[in-house]
Structure 1
């Protein structure tokens, strides 16, 4: 895996991060600029540059990402009160890193969108 973005460097532990979970498919870490009391990212260890680049062969990986988001929501005690999943896709949506990632936010009442 080439290390050409910050997420890949986090996956490979080349830069420090508050890693909450990691397995062979995904890495989960706290957001460095949280928008809620609980804010973490779920990223695939495989390079997928955006939501638009998911292929049929990635369906199990995406399902795993969602399952891990739920697992960490339970560990962070936001499972019952509620949480939000956000995937920004491309520049106009606010995607800053060209690596698919799910933001998971909770820990307070979030404003409706």
Structure 2
């Protein structure tokens, strides 16, 4: 699948509106339209990569920038003291619905244990 045709690609190209909270040359971050927590921001690389599984060694610096951007956003928004969660869904069974690599930053309330069924 061509990841530049996803909804995230359309947001990057400004074809679809989004509540953008961060952007630089390599990344964009915007509020999720169906939040799972009081703060739910998606961090997306502008380079089209379908999933974490599709990432290559050449993407290592970009992946690091993605993580650091999420952490910096959490700090600047006052979320780091109480804590936040960063999630990457990889594939349909993990809940990935948009096949463009992205991080979910979740915060703003106690999130409870992760992975319980």
CA distance in 2, matches of 1:106, 1:13: 26
Which residue is 1:61 aligned to? 62
* Deviates most, 95-104 or 75-84: 75-84
Matches within 5 A, 1:24-63: 24-63=25-64
1:18-49 CA distance string (max 9 Å, x none): 00011111000000011111110001000000
CA RMSD across the alignment:
1.4
1:31-74 CA distance string (max 9 Å, x none): 00111111100010000000101110100000000110011112
Which residue is 1:4 aligned to? 5
Secondary structure at 2:85's aligned position in 1?
strand
Unaligned runs of 5+ in 1: none
CA distance in 2, matches of 1:4, 1:59: 23
Work out whether 1:21 is the aligned partner of 2:33: no
User: How far 1:3 moved relative to its partner?
Assistant: 4.4
Greater than 2 Å deviation, 4+ residue runs: none
TM-score for the superposition, normalised by structure 2: 0.92
- Give the total of aligned pairs: 113
TM-score for the superposition, normalised by structure 1: 0.95
